[in-house]
Structure 1
Amino acid sequence: MQVFSELSQLLFPTRCYGCNAIGISICSNCRRAWHPHYYLTHIGGLRVNSAVLYSPTASKIILAAKERGLKGADELIIDAIVHVLSRANFDKHNVRLVPIPSSAINRRRRGRSFIPDICDEISERTSIPVIPALRILRKVKDQSTLSAPARTKNMHGAFGIAQKIYPRGDLILIDDVVTTGATVCEAARALNSHGFAVLGSVTACVAQPLR
């Protein structure tokens, strides 16, 4: 087995998710850009707790997980979110995790639901239950090229409540990155309008203009 492992490393050497350098999954230079701390942001009255400032390195790590399905990149994101959950002082609340759902086209393309799958592993580590309370009601545009007002308009009314889901506990929205906050704010609006208690959101990354 060791011979096969060594041969695999020769043919397909491990590369850093951030800079693609041969060696380990995240090199010391990129680790400086992906080093979980604790950042608290308020967006439209919603409390957003994050671990890492969004950067070119963070973007590559998220893409390695989301688009390439690399387990090691998943682990970095999971570790970051678990770190924030341990720092955000939710001990006095009956917390439940609510993942931001993937669109049907992205589920088919990636072969999985990215954030819901991440949430399942976070739940295993923290023993915090997951409630898949949200569903996507309509098609939305790719947010990456949109301005902040356009993102808000794009997401308005995009989320609904999954069937047979009933309000209970203090809900924490889980997502990979918050840039303008349009997605998490719309998710919170949808949940609140149906009687759910949204305590806040936890993300792996937060865009620096929000800081």
Structure 2
Amino acid sequence: MHTLGPPPETTVPHRLVHLLQHAVDRLLPPGCAACEEPALFERAFCAICEEDSYLLPYSVCPGCALPLPLSRSPYASLPSLAGCLGCARRPHSPITRTTAIWEYEGAVSEALRRIKYSGDLVAAQSLLNVSAALIAPTLRALPPSLIIPVPARRENLRQRGFHLPSLLARCWAKGTHHQPALFALYKTRQTRAQASLGLIERSTNLRDAFKARLTPRPRTSVLLVDDVLTTGATLDAAANALREVGVEKIHALVLARSLPRQ
């Protein structure tokens, strides 16, 4: 599988991804991703926060990873009895399958807030280590693929100094038969923060915002990585860019899945 090198403006972030991964691998002790306490052995959280974290059950929608029929989390509501609410809202999604690890609630939500807005590398390392073990069975079952992170907004990259989906893609690919391609996708323009937008605005905000620097071979499959799946607009926009260069099989891998609210 052949990929082109990163555009010139991504050279520094490319080095940062590897330097930061090396640093967190070697220097940071395991701590709870959501608070200041030590983490449980081979877990991302301390005992208290572990009780407020929710691994997705085995019974989920294969297309969008919403739990079926009910999450054990107190935050979630029942999906529509007429079918999967997540897929109904994305009838033309180019993504054929989605795998998520945690529900985006409680301690997981707090951990991602610490990582994104406080630059907490201890929290990041805890989630990286544990998520790699949890997603390993899925990766072993899939054919050799390119693992591609959804690109960052440049201002977010400047503020945080690292890009969590890139760290996830690199960490999850390690020791597998999959190949990370950290800069196969890039953003063509500045976009507004998705968290501040409504459902329709999220889709239009990202229209034609991604391009692929990729020459796929026949039957190339891609594992598209992001930290959180909410409406799916970001993943769909990135997947559409991959479809434009001929990628047919796109499987999304996400750390956390947002659920319908009560």
With the shorter chain as reference, the TM-score category is 0.7 to 0.9
- Structure-2 residue corresponding to 1:115: 165
Q: CA deviation at 1:119?
A: 1.9
Distance change >3 Å, CA 95–CA 133, structure 1 → 2: same
- Structure-1 residue corresponding to 2:189: 138
- Structure-2 residue corresponding to 1:9: none
* Aligned residue among 3, 11, 27 for 2:46: 27
Q: Which amino acid aligns with 1:48?
A: T
TM-score by length of 2: 0.65
Deviates most, 78-87 or 114-123: 78-87
Deviates most, 64-73 or 191-200: 64-73
Counterpart-to-counterpart distance in 2, 1:78 and 1:124: 11
Counterpart-to-counterpart distance in 1, 2:131 and 2:150: 14
Q: CA deviation at 1:192?
A: 0.5
Q: CA deviation at 1:70?
A: 2.7
TM-score by length of 1: 0.79
1:82-123 CA distance string (max 9 Å, x none): 345334366352222000111221111111233213322222
Distance change >3 Å, CA 126–CA 41, structure 1 → 2: same
Distance change >3 Å, CA 64–CA 82, structure 1 → 2: same
Deviates most, 190-199 or 76-85: 76-85
Q: CA deviation at 1:208?
A: 1.0
Percent of residue pairs identical: 22
Q: CA deviation at 1:68?
A: 2.9
Counterpart-to-counterpart distance in 1, 2:225 and 2:150: 6
Structure 1 unaligned residues grouped into runs of 5+: 1-13
Distance change >3 Å, CA 17–CA 92, structure 1 → 2: closer
Q: CA deviation at 1:41?
A: 4.0
* Secondary structure of the structure 2 residue equivalent to 1:88: helix
Between the two structures, name the one with larger relative contact order (CA 8 Å, sep ≥ 6).
2
* Aligned residue among 109, 124, 142 for 2:174: 124
1:154-209 CA distance string (max 9 Å, x none): 111110113xx311431010010000000001111110011123321000100112
Deviates most, 112-121 or 29-38: 29-38
Moved over 6 A (4+): none
